[in-house]
Chain A
């Protein structure tokens, strides 16, 4: 049965049986269970991830439903983590899922994520990404940043040992003042799909990370080659100010 389950992706040359084995043996962490995070969890569990950590402190709201995977109107008011777990276990009852209904903060970040082999970003704020970046560098765990705005998505795979970290790309980015940012409903699924590809290539060891800027409306895709900053306080000097807060 298991072979039948994945037969259609085992025959994809870029992925194959090796990719399947790697996917099934790695522990994936997803931070945030909204637009990006719900699609990421759905993709990874359907593709064969066996061990998953999900983290979010919010409940499902009506205004989430246009851009999220799996949630329904019946789920409104329930914690995203427990509800997403329920849907994911319906896809694969053998899934080992660690669902944490909490906000990721400096005191709990290492405890919740240090055992992951790769981390996927589904958060909605910049400070959490700096926190995850520090964890990534300190514990040598790759992660894949992604963000969405309107019809645009940005994605960057971060492999701290070999490439630029999030702080190398922008060391002092502030949180935008705008609240309720515009996001067209099908954008998070598209961006999460790209993020998923980047994560798979990290696990397979075939990725050359570049910042990807994708416009879902115009179908333009742009790649930026950004190098490690030799003066980066995080990945070159190991100064972890967010983890110490």
Chain B
């Protein structure tokens, strides 16, 4: 399926746009979105286990299945310095 995902923070800066069109299998999970994003922008691979992905404005785990009508967004991990 074709999906347009929303990017936030430095991911948006990296892609030069808040919208990224990706193609993933019809039975895809959030993992496919993450892997496709990393494949396109390998410099974000270090964030893989910590990036924040939402489906329809709620946090979801990477194993969550997705449907072509879902709204998916990816943001960098929450930062922790004080």
Contact = CB atoms under 8 A, between A and B. Distances in A.
Interface of A: 32, 34-37, 121-126, 129, 145-149, 152-154, 168-171, 173-176, 181, 183, 188, 211, 213, 215, 218, 220, 222, 224-229
By CB atoms of chain A within 10 A, which of B10, B75, B82 has the most? B82
Interface in B28-63: 49-50, 52, 54, 57-59
A83 to B, nearest CB: 17
By CB atoms of chain A within 10 A, which of B57, B75, B78 has the most? B78
A224 B75 contact: yes
A183 B59 CA distance: 27
A149 B8 CA distance: 16
Contact of B12 (A145, A222, A229): A222
Contacts, number: 90
Contacts of B58: 168, 226-229
A147 B59 contact: no
Contacts of A145: 78
A154 B78 contact: yes
A122 B82 contact: yes
Given A218-B13, A222-B9, A226-B57, A173 B77 contact: yes
A35 B81 CA distance: 9
Contact of B82 (A35, A171, A220): A35
Contacts of B49: 174
A218 B16 CA distance: 13
Contact of B52 (A122, A169, A174): A169
Given A220-B13, A227-B57, A174 B8 contact: no
A124 B59 contact: no
